[in-house]
Structures are given as C-alpha cells and as structure tokens.
Amino acid sequence: MFDQQLANTQFWLKKSLSDMSQNEWEAICDGCGKCCLNTFIDSEDEDEFTATDQLREGEQLIFTNIVCQYLDNNTCGCSEYENRQMLVPSCVKLTKENLKDIFFMPQSCSYRRLHEGRGLASWHPLLNNGDKTKMHELGISVKDKTVKDCDVKLDDFDLYIAEWPTKDAD
C-alpha cells in the first residue's frame, strides 16, 4: 500500500539501503514483477554447474518471460507474498544482507539502481504518487508479457528467452 507521507520524505535520497526501516525498504520495491521471472545462467563450462552468488567469467544471466504461478499479471504482485518462500523454495527474498549478491536482479530493479548509485528511475511509483502507469507504459514491468511456469514444459524453457527484462529506462 502506497504511503504518501513516507514518499514525501524522499528517504531514499537521505539514507543508504542498509539504514532504511522495514517500511522504507519495502517502499523501494517498484512492483515491476521482474524478480518473479525465471532465469538461468548460461555458462561456457556446461558440465560444472554449482550454486552461485555471483556471475563468474564466461557466464551470463539469461532472462525468460516465464513467471511464477503466483504472479498476478494485472498488478505485477505476488498473490502469495507472505507465503512465497514456503510455496516456492527457490524464491529469493532480497534483503539488506544479500544485497551485495544482486547480480540476479535486472538492471531496472530499484534496489539495484540505488545500490549502484543510479537513484530511482523517473517511472518509479514513489515519484508518481504510487501510480505504476508510467512503469507499465515504458515496458519496465512484466504486465502482459509473461507465461506461467506451470504452463511451460521444462524442456521448452529455452523457447522463452527474453531480452526485454534487461532493459531499463533513464
């Protein structure tokens, strides 16, 4: 829920992500839904796959337009937000502690933008009275671009590779 009073303080200009309260931290999320996209790492060394918290030389993060079954395509929000990690164990919860490993988030992610010193984008809901319209119009969000993971065969995963999640605006 958008908090106009909180937005009016422009806390993101005065505080680092690590100094933000929980309410401020949650407000930084632009609600684009890209974190719900399935991704995979394309590696030159196909035989040696291990879990990672960073991309290694020769690896590339590949986005698809496949989303978690719990993503609401209209709002770009999780219909099971409170239970998401229990229902989907691979769902990564971005926290102040794992922010340093943010490579898996798209360039347009507001947490990533602030972490990298790029500031909030002009389309961010905090800068638009809580409205996501500008974000949707610029094609930043997942709205109307996805297919649910439960509707895709695992063998067909590579047919859903998408470039649009890597795009940012301003």
Q: Tokens 């996209």 belong to which residue?
A: 37
> For all residues of the chain together, what is the average pLDDT?
89
Tell me, what's the pLDDT at 135?
Answer: 96
Q: Are 68 and 91 in contact (CB under 8 A)?
A: yes
| Cα 112 to Cα 120: distance, rounded to the nearest angstrom | 10
SS3 of residue 59 by DSSP:
strand
Tell me, what's the pLDDT at 84?
Answer: 93
pLDDT, tens digit, for every residue of 102-116? 778 899 999 999 999
pLDDT band at 40 (very low <50, low <70, confident <90, very high): confident
| Cα 119 to Cα 81: distance, rounded to the nearest angstrom | 26
